[in-house]
Chains A and B, each alone.
Chain A
Amino acid sequence: MLKTLIGRELLDNLMTFRFAAAVFITLLLVVANTIVLLKDYEQRLTAYNTAVQESREDLREEKTYAGYSGTLVAHRPPNPLSIFNLGLDKQVGNKIEVYHAFVPTIWDAEKHGMDNPFLNLFTSIDIVLVFQGVLSLLALIFAYDGLAGERERGTLRLVLTHPIQRGYILLAKYISAMLCLLVPLLISLLLSIILLTTSTTLALRADDFLRIGGIVLTSLLYVSLFYLIGLCISALTRRTSTALMLCMFVWGVLVLVYPNLILTAVDIVPKPNAQISVHNQIKQMWEQLDKENKQFIRNDGVLSPPSRGGEDLAAGFGLEGVEYTFWQDEDKPSILLYFHQTGLYAGKIKAESEPQVPPVQNYYGFYNRETINTVERTWLVRKPALEAIYVQPANLGRMLLRFSPVGLYDAATEAWAGTDLEGIQDFFGTVQRYRRAVVDYFYDKKIFESRQWFAADKGTADWDALPQFSFHRSDTGINAKRALPDMLLLLTMNVILFTVVLLIFVKSEV
């Protein structure tokens, strides 16, 4: 019986104009956007490859180890799945310095220079956005006359004269409509995947297909939710025209109005000024380091010419052959970044200064060790403060968006694609571990207190032996774990709505 019903519904749906229109418009939008997005991805990948190449060459040119500041850079590759959900992939910086004087975070990252910041003025697009707008609309268009239409035409009565349970009728309607909606979704996705595989630059791995599968599953839950919303409206209203109008209103509110309205009403702009005391605290820690540093120099009589009071590093400790000294400082209160470093570069140290070299080496061993300790201490206060400034409002915003299915869908697909905040943080976590590895390597090989730290005359820095940076996106399992709560919420809403529709339908008079 169920089969007959499904068959009837399916035929009813497939032969309509709306089905043809649905397939056509989804195909058109998805294919057009895939082409555009693919081109954009290729450009970003080229920019990434150039940047990686350039910084590798830059690092090779450095003769002393101290010169790695600013030249040892980790680059974030564009995520191929950003074509499906762009998320934060383009927005967040993709170039981050690895240096022992600060812990790299998402906020310290910069963008490599290929892009024009003004182009951010235009809204960006991805495939999930197309589905979000179009599929939800189509689901409602399929649903609005599901019950109200049959009631109007009188066919509902006819069907109910047969000994069929009402639940079966509803189930048949649901299954057939979902099958019909699945067609445009799958065809367009298949076409876009075919387009992606023809590209030579974009390589999808096996687990990427699993992730795409996750996105399809989430899309299905999302579409089904909208279909049930439409069916619910259809069961509640007597006339199709009212049902249609209400469906449209609900669509407008859920997809268009609510997400924008709620985030306009609730202030989720980061407020760095609230944590300015933390910045001052961090500054004080560095001043403390300065004091210890001066103390060390004063206690060590050999280090610098007495005329400078043992306090000024600018003279290069009186080493003959110093080409330049540098003083580097960063002070960005908005991201609570503060550090300073001093150093010098000697091309060829003259023989008469040779006895001075071991104390200088000893000094840098001390200075770098103390710097790293200070960084560890500042990180303890900087990390929670950064979370409070940036992550908390962002999470609040995402939380509020979850009251609309659109927000849930977006969050879940972002998590599958790995372009959500956590996915991006994975990269920065890897960079932080890499910085640790570099520091450990420097400790192990005693590079901080080596002659090569500042002088290039007796052997130069060996960059090949340095640990290499590599980043792999997290496992599909982790993506699934992050997407699961939102998917479960979508599922729960589906189940609840189905029950509601069933109850309304069973109770209603025909």
Chain B
Amino acid sequence: MWHIAKREIYDNLNSLRFALTTVLLLALMVTNAVKHLREHPKRVQRYQDAVTESLNHLTDRADDSLYTLAQYGPGNFYKKPSPLHFCANGGESLLPDAVEVGEPPVFMTDAEGNRLLEGIWSLSYPDANLHNKNVGPKVSQVDWAFIIGYILSLIALWFTFDAFSGEREHGTLRLMLANSIPRHTVLIGKFFGALLSISIPFALAVLVNLLLISTANTVHLTTEAWGRLGIIFCLALLYTSLFVALGLLVSARVQQSAVSLMILLLTWVTLVVFMPSTLASIASSFSPATSFEEFWKQRHPIKEDLWEIYREGRSSKSEDRRLRAKSEFYTKNAERDERKHEERLKYRSAQVHRARAITGISPATLLQHLMEGFAGTGFERHLQFVENTQRYTRQLREFVADTDRADPESLHILGVREGMSEKPISPEAVPRFEDTLNLSKDFNTAAMELLLLTLFVLVLLSGAYLAFVRVEV
């Protein structure tokens, strides 16, 4: 078997296609590295500036008083850019990079513009960004996901389309089978031969890419990042073997290599280029989104009950009662705003998830999702970031309540100036927001897609086996 694989590799190494593949992959990977080196430091700088600014807000508010912190909240939260952005950019430019801490709403002002009723902060999730301001042509960025998903799969077909049909045309297949080699050994030999000959230029290109990226002192890759890169490399091999198996399958069934290549190319175009976008359009048209206007209309009338609480409290004689009503009014308002925002996000992400599930039939999309998952970019990562901010928000609110409880002078009525501790607190004591990524968690979310991809490979391989065993030479 190794003999066959070795023969294949030698055959391939001397061919024109090997040289062209190497040049192509190197060009792509170098461009990718150069772009990353050019843009990543800027991205990190932007993130750090934003984080520093929001930390300053937090410190100022904590220095002022516990009440200010409770009313204005921390600064905005920012998504930490992934160091593996060059592996899959995951449409990051289309996703918002922050979760905003909304200004406290002003419910009532007097004629002089003084705020009479001022609520407390709540989280809000901005829609994307300036995307629709860019009127330039739309192309996909050259990241690893593109190189592997489109180019490497095409190369895999390029290396295998004549694996059997070519040998049959030359008559060498007969010769080989005249020896006492079982057919499955030939198949497996061919499979590994093709896979290895593709891996050589790919590994070379990856090495050059990583060399460029890791020698630059502006970008740091941690041990975890290297582990992720290892996983991504394995993913690339798995995905390539899928197309190698497809190539072998078609090549075994078809008599002429030209026909085999044509069938493969048309299958490839359908699977990789058209299926993802067509399926996504179908999936997204299943349910029209509620419009933002409707969303606001829905929420306005139901605020009446909150005003009712406030009015009832205001007419009360006892000071304590009045403050409590005010506090309830504020917190309920903030809660409701937050819940509405969250629901909208959930509704939209359910739509995206549905579309992602449907497009998952195409192996190219599966790979895209897996790459995004392991590179720490894309939609799932965005949702994880949102979850992180929500967890932190809960933590901060608990902290505020606990600190307030520790102050004997406070009335412990949260959200109202008169009812809360007005002492400044040490900024160090306030919990800090940290946007973390968890490899094992990523692995869990990716498990299903990983299994599906493996399943595709196995099905195609056994298909190729059956086709080759039964075919007449």
Contacts and interface: CB of A to CB of B under 8 A. Distances in A.
A121 B352 contact: yes
Interface residues of B, number: 73
Given A40-B285, A117-B128, A245 B273 contact: no
A261 B27 contact: yes
Contacts of B38: 267
A37 B269 CA distance: 19
Given A125-B274, A137-B266, A241 B257 contact: yes
Interface string A171-213: 0000000000000000000000000000000000000000000
A101 interface: no
Given A32-B278, A122-B284, A123-B277, A264 B266 contact: no
A314 B265 CA distance: 70
Contacts of A407: 137
B349 A397 contact: no
Contacts of A242: 16
Nearest to B166: A241
Given A92-B135, A390-B135, A133 B269 contact: yes
Contact of B262 (A18, A43, A241, A246): A18
B269 A43 contact: no
Interface in B129-160: 130-142, 146, 150-151, 154, 158
A37 to B, nearest CB: 7
Contacts of A263: 137, 139
A249 B20 contact: yes
Nearest to B32: A264
A120 interface: yes
B352 to A, nearest CB: 5
B291 A268 contact: no
A91 B80 CA distance: 27
A326 to B, nearest CB: 12
Interface string A8-27: 00000000011001000100
A315 B162 CA distance: 85
Contact of B351 (A18, A116, A335, A401): A116
Contacts of B95: 118, 121
Given A256-B150, A257-B24, A33 B274 contact: yes
Interface stretch (A107-115, A297-305, A356-364, A472-480): A107-115
B101 interface: no
A421 interface: yes
Given A37-B281, A242-B16, A334-B130, A261 B142 contact: yes
Given A17-B259, A117-B127, A122 B151 contact: no
A56 to B, nearest CB: 14
Contact of A245 (B158, B288, B352): B158
Contacts of A397: 136-137
B278 A118 contact: no
Interface string B344-364: 000011011001000100000
Contact of A111 (B24, B132, B295, B378): B132
A265 B139 contact: no
B280 interface: yes
B293 interface: yes
> Which among A54, A109, A123, A141 has the greatest number of chain B C-beta atoms within 10 A?
A123
B274 A39 contact: no
Given A119-B284, A264-B35, A315-B111, A91 B132 contact: yes
A107 B136 CA distance: 13
Interface string A87-98: 010011100000
Contact of B285 (A36, A113, A245): A36
B139 to A, nearest CB: 5
A106 interface: yes
A259 interface: yes
Contacts of A264: 31-32, 35, 139, 141-142
A45 interface: no
Interface string A36-59: 110110010001000000100000
B113 A33 contact: no
A390 B28 CA distance: 27
Contacts of A248: 154, 158, 261, 265
Interface string B290-316: 011111000000000000000000000
Given A115-B289, A116-B348, A125 B261 contact: no
A328 interface: no
A410 B34 CA distance: 28
B35 A120 contact: no
A394 B136 contact: yes
A468 interface: no
B133 A120 contact: no
Interface string A311-328: 000110000000000000
Contacts of B269: 25, 133-134, 137
Given A145-B258, A248-B261, A269-B134, A125 B291 contact: no
A119 B352 contact: yes
A401 B284 contact: no
B151 to A, nearest CB: 7
A391 B135 contact: yes
B285 A43 contact: yes
A114 B351 CA distance: 13
Interface string B66-106: 00000000000000000000000001001100000000000
Given A122-B276, A123-B280, A257-B24, A106 B135 contact: yes
Given A43-B285, A270-B134, A394-B135, A123 B276 contact: yes
A242 B282 CA distance: 40
B16 A245 contact: yes
Nearest to B261: A244
Given A36-B282, A118-B128, A424-B135, 18 more contacts: A36-B285, A88-B135, A92-B132, A113-B291, A116-B352, A118-B379, A122-B277, A125-B278, A141-B262, A244-B257, A244-B258, A248-B158, A249-B17, A260-B146, A270-B133, A335-B133, A390-B135, A391-B135
Interface of B: 16-17, 20, 24, 27-28, 31-32, 34-35, 38, 91, 94-95, 111, 113, 127-128, 130-142, 146, 150-151, 154, 158, 162, 166, 257-259, 261-263, 265-266, 269-270, 273-274, 276-278, 280-282, 284-285, 288-289, 291-295, 348-349, 351-352, 355, 359, 378-379
Query: Closest 3 CB pairs between A and B?
Result: A113-B292, A122-B280, A113-B291
30 contacts: A21-B263, A21-B266, A39-B285, A47-B291, A54-B293, A91-B132, A92-B132, A113-B292, A114-B289, A116-B289, A117-B127, A117-B131, A119-B284, A123-B140, A134-B266, A141-B262, A145-B258, A245-B158, A248-B154, A249-B24, A252-B24, A257-B24, A261-B27, A261-B142, A263-B139, A264-B139, A265-B31, A265-B35, A393-B136, A401-B139
